[in-house]
Structure 1
């Protein structure tokens, strides 16, 4: 990759391993296996059942925030792009409460943190586009980094290049990403990051 002037990261499963068990969350919330949780919640009418589901999701997310562990190389890569003047942001389907708890626990700072309270959740491209506009950087010069299909789709639909973080098995949708990253210690080389500052 060339001309990378901004990097947007997913949070859970990308920067940190929050050990969230989405299957257990779905089962506890009464959602069908494989259904995206936020979409399943959106289809549930307001009332006691929905309130119960929201409480279950919040409990899982906050537990994940408290147990989150940074992936190897994340701190070093964030420092590299910061030193090069390349802005970074987080775009997560998580709540702001859980996202800020996770980031605060590891003392991670970003120019923007966009959660599901701020923009329609991925794979909707509104979040990435919002970040690009605030930076004033063309979408073609921003990279979206994430571990799941929705991250790749959101980036592609926004006109950005995408990086799939896959530290273990390579999923069947990996071909949709521009690059597959297995270890953040290789990120600077794979993304060919260079100074964003004017000469």
Structure 2
């Protein structure tokens, strides 16, 4: 029986594509590098802010990552100052979260987004819908290590097999499977069905509202 649902943030709970592209391209312009198409950030994201900046800088022309250390610091600072620029919830997600809570399912976020930014985004988009928000910090290994989801399960007092993990990238699928959780790919996010299935998704959901049915039909005893 599913007792907790753990969500990725970028590309799962919130459409942050334009937000990430805007901040990164501001930094590229500062260094005289070329700006990058917004759609590129579907593939730069998923493994934390530092990896995103590495990928973006290389594609923008900084092959030697000369600006990496300063660039990753600026990226975090700019997001901390305004993490909500053009960030919106996915259609149907607010209603889905409320329905899951109504059914007694605990809700959490486990993101590779820096922790302060993750907390701010969730608070502004979803208020107090979530019981726990865990973003990237030096205190815990980033995904695909299963540390975050397992920590959340421990805090909730539930077993990993009683958790449904939802995310939109190969990193998320690997995370959920490594944690021993029922792992659902979010097709409304940044990556495609092929990637999600190839990396261990137990199911792929086409719309946020599918999660309520999945939590009942596929995950319960």
TM-based fold match above 0.5: yes
Taking structure 2 as the reference length, the TM-score comes to 0.72
Match of 1:112 in 2: 132
1:14-33 alignment, distance < 5 Å: 14-19=12-17, 20-21=19-20, 25=24, 28=28
| Alignment partner of 1:166 is 2:178 | no
| 1:189 matched residue in structure 2 | 213
What SS does structure 2 have at the residue aligned with 1:104? helix
1:73-92 equivalent positions in 2, closer than 5 A: 73-92=92-111
Q: Does 1:138 align with 2:140?
A: no
Report the secondary structure of 1:103's partner residue. Answer: helix
CA distance in 1, matches of 2:89, 2:22: 22
Select the residue among 41, 50, 61 that pairs with 1:38.
Answer: 50
* Structure 1: 4+ residue segments shifted above 6 A: none
Unmatched segments (≥5 aa) in structure 2: 34-39, 55-66
Kindly indicate whether the alpha-carbon contact (under 8 Å) linking 2:6 and 2:166 is maintained by their aligned counterparts in 1. Answer: yes
**Contact in 2 for aligned 1:152/1:162 (Cα 8 Å):** yes
1:17-50 CA distance string (max 9 Å, x none):
01244698399399xx9675534779xxxxx851
The alignment covers a number of residue pairs equal to 187
Q: Any conservation in 2 of the 1:8–1:91 contact (CA below 8 Å)?
A: yes
Verify: 1:122 aligned to 2:134, yes or no.
no
CA distance in 2 between counterparts of 1:71 and 1:187 reads 13
User: Which secondary structure does the structure 2 equivalent of 1:93 belong to?
Assistant: strand
* CA pair 80-155 structure 1, distance change in 2 beyond 3 A: same
Q: Secondary structure at the match of 2:96?
A: helix
Contact 1:112/1:131 (<8 A) preserved: yes
8 Å CA contact 1:18–1:69 kept in 2: the answer is yes
Q: 5+ unaligned residues in a row in structure 1: which ranges?
A: 43-47
CA contact (8 A) 1:89 1:111 kept: yes
- TM-score w.r.t. the length of structure 1 is 0.79
